[in-house]
């Protein structure tokens, strides 16, 4: 039996300017552009292997060791696009094996809790699209591939790139201009660090698609956010990244997280993703920045209570030490050495 295989990884990306709202649900076209930072491969990532063989009887997917359905319209849309691109290559070169006609076996593993507001679907669909694109030997044009990953999960389009990434919402109805582009590679700002405080690894309360639909349909504040607030922030945040201006980047990141959670609260019925621990983390970061006299740490929260804290490496001991002092119970500290955790300051 001949089996063709390829393996790829994709890291999680954490939005600093949030995507929240779809103008087209089946194509995953957003109501606003967004910006994110892709974490490094050593942090949270999905590892996916794809195999194609004439002997496989059906498409199958194993996620973290368990057989999963491939029936979701989103996964089907990704597979159909990738097969169509491969079929075009095969029709131009008759010597190529007809992989587009073979069934696929896909094995995918996350090194973090699935669906806990840690953007597992972003890394998942990005790794799936990368692995199959590599198996099919398609051109590695990440913006092009991002349009396919976007159909799996909107935020997945941003995980095709490392570093600082923008998802341009586009204006076309068919979504051909709704794609991820690089703002700057990770190497541009290597001292930028992210700490993830896992407040809870439960499955999230309201899935993002349901939450977005409800916000779009019921929140008045949402209109202000997408028309007035985000377009301005999109340009300002890109500039802050290019200039490595942590102060501006941090302020915009925190304000945008708050704006996103505000439109969730303004939905009817309201959607709550933050819990009491999340709110305590927000207060602590503000107090720390106040004591320092400028912004050295910035929080952001996705569709769940877990915090991501951005900081510059130069302030690592102070930021992590302070968070550790007050939130030693959250997961993940074991990865850090004691010297990074002992530099905390006393708040109040």
Binding residues (CB under 6 A) for ligand PMV: these are 15, 18-20, 34, 119, 121-122, 153-155, 208-209, 302-303
Burial of 76 (0-12, 13-18, 19+ CB in 10 A): middle
CB of 137 to ligand PMV, least distance (A): 28
Of the pair 136, 167, the CB lying nearest ligand PMV is at 167
Beta carbon nearer to ligand PMV, 60 or 209 = 209
Compute the least distance from the CB of residue 341 to ligand PMV, in Å.
28
For residue 211, the minimal CB distance to ligand PMV (Å) is: 8
Shortest reach from residue 328's CB to ligand PMV, in Å: 27
Q: Pick the closer one to ligand PMV by CB: 17 or 52.
A: 17
Could you tell me which of 69, 77, 6, 12 has the C-alpha nearest to residue 45?
Answer: 12
| Token pair belonging to 89 | 């290559």
Q: Which is nearer to ligand PMV, 19 or 112 (CB)?
A: 19
Vertex 206: Cα angle to 204 and 212 (nearest 5): 125
Q: How far is the CB of 327 from ligand PMV (least distance, A)?
A: 22
Cβ proximity to ligand PMV: between 61 and 149 the closer is 149
CB of 89 to ligand PMV, least distance (A): 29
Between residues 235 and 313, which has the closer beta carbon with respect to ligand PMV? 235
Close Cβ partners of 106 (under 8 Å, ≥ 6 residues apart)? 48, 49, 50, 51, 59, 60, 61, 62, 70, 128, 131, 132
For residue 19, the minimal CB distance to ligand PMV (Å) is 3
Exposed, middle or buried, 197 (CB in 10 Å: 0-12/13-18/19+)? Answer: buried
CA distance linking residue 124 with residue 114, whole number of Å: 10
Distance CA 192, CA 312 (A): 5
C-alpha 148/C-alpha 122 separation (Å) is 12
Shortest separation between residue 69's beta carbon and ligand PMV, angstroms: 18
Burial 161-193 (b: 16+ CB within 10 A, else e): bbbbbbbbbbeeeebeebbbebbbeeeebeebb
Spatial distance between the Cα atoms of 120 and 115, rounded to a whole number of angstroms: 6
Residue 18 or 193: the one with the smaller Cβ distance to ligand PMV is 18
Report the C-alpha gap between 45 and 263 in whole angstroms.
29
Rounded (5°) CA angle 178-68-130: 40
Indicate the residue among 211 and 321 with the shorter CB distance to ligand PMV. Answer: 211
DSSP code for 296: -
């Amino acid at each position: 039996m001949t089996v063709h295989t390829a393996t790829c990884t994709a890291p999680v990306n954490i939005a600093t300017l949030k995507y929240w709202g779809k103008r087209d649900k089946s194509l995953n076209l957003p109501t606003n552009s967004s910006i994110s930072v892709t974490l490094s491969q050593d942090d949270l990532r999905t590892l996916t292997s794809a195999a194609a063989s004439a002997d496989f009887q059906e498409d199958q997917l194993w996620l973290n060791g368990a057989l999963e359905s491939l029936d979701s319209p989103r996964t089907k849309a990704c597979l159909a696009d990738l097969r169509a691109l491969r079929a075009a290559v095969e029709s131009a070169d008759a010597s190529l094996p007809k992989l587009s006609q073979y069934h696929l076996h896909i094995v995918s593993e996350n090194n973090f809790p699935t669906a806990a507001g840690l953007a597992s679907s972003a890394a998942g669909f990005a790794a799936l699209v990368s692995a199959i694109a590599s198996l099919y030997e398609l051109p590695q044009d990440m913006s092009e591939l991002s349009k396919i990953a976007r159909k799996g999960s909107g935020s997945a389009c941003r995980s095709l790139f490392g570093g600082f990434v923008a998802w341009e919402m586009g204006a076309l109805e068919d979504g051909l201009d709704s794609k991820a582009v690089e703002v700057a590679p990770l190497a541009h700002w290597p001292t930028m660090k992210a700490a993830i405080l896992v407040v809870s690894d439960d499955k999230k309360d309201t899935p993002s698609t349901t939450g977005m639909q409800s916000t779009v349909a019921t929140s008045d504040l949402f209109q202000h956010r997408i028309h007035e607030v985000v377009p301005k922030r999109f340009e300002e945040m890109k500039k802050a990244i290019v200039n490595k201006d942590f102060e501006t980047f941090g302020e915009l990141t925190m304000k945008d997280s708050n704006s996103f959670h505000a439109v969730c609260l303004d939905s009817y019925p309201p959607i709550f993703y933050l819990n009491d621990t999340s709110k305590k983390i927000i207060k602590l970061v503000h107090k720390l920045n106040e004591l320092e006299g400028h912004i050295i740490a910035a929080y952001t929260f996705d569709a769940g209570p877990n915090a991501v804290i951005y900081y510059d490496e130069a302030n690592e001991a102070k930021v992590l030490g302070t968070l550790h002092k007050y939130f030693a119970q959250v997961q993940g500290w074991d990865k850090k050495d004691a010297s990074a955790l002992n530099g905390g300051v006393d708040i109040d």
